[in-house]
Copies of this chain bind each other. A is one copy, B any other.
Amino acid sequence: MNPEPYFRLHAFICTNRRPDGHKRGSCAARGAEPLRDYLKARTKELGIAGVRINAAGCLDRCELGPVMVIYPEGIWYNFHSYEDIDEILDSHLLKGGRVERLMLRPEDGPPPKG
Chain A residues within CB distance 8 Å of chain B: 2-7, 10, 12, 43-44, 47-52, 54-61, 69, 71-76, 103-106, 112, 114
Contacts and interface: CB of A to CB of B under 8 A. Distances in A.
Contacts of A75: 2-3
Chain A residues touching B, majority SS: loop
A66 to B, nearest CB: 15
A112 B57 contact: no
A65 to B, nearest CB: 14
A37 B59 CA distance: 16
Given A7-B112, A12-B56, A72-B72, 5 more contacts: A5-B74, A6-B69, A52-B114, A71-B71, A72-B73
